[in-house]
Amino acid sequence: MMHITVALPDDVAQEYYNASEKLNEYLQQGDAPDAQTLMRFMLAGFSAHDIATHFDRALRNITGAPMPDETDTWVFSPGFENAP
């Protein structure tokens, strides 16, 4: 088994803590998964292809590159920063 440490933004981590509390209230037994277990569970549900696709879409959003399922239209053209 491999262990990695990932720093999450506070608001993202808070969602997992909130979900853990809601599960604990729902189950009413006090043995609901903690936030870290929920994070591991969610990450374990992705294949390598899913992860690569998510990162590809995120990087395309950041750079303004066209999405794979869209036409070759850039949000910001490659020469945008050089426009007069």
SS (H, E, C) the chain: CCCCCCCCCHHHHHHHHHHHHHHHHHHCCCCCCCHHHHHHHHHHCCCHHHHHHHHHHHHHHHHCCCCCCCCCCCCCCCCHHHCC
DSSP 8-state code for residue 35: H
pLDDT tens for each residue of 32-58: 889 989 988 888 888 888 888 888 888
pLDDT value at position 14? 93
pLDDT at position 61 is: 81
pLDDT of residue 32: 81
Q: What is the value of pTM for the model shown?
A: 0.54
Q: Enter the tokens of residue 51.
A: 């992860």
More confident residue, 13 or 71: 13
pLDDT at res. 62: 83
pLDDT reported for residue 82: 55
Map out the domains of the chain as residue ranges: 34-75
79 or 12, which is more confident? Answer: 12
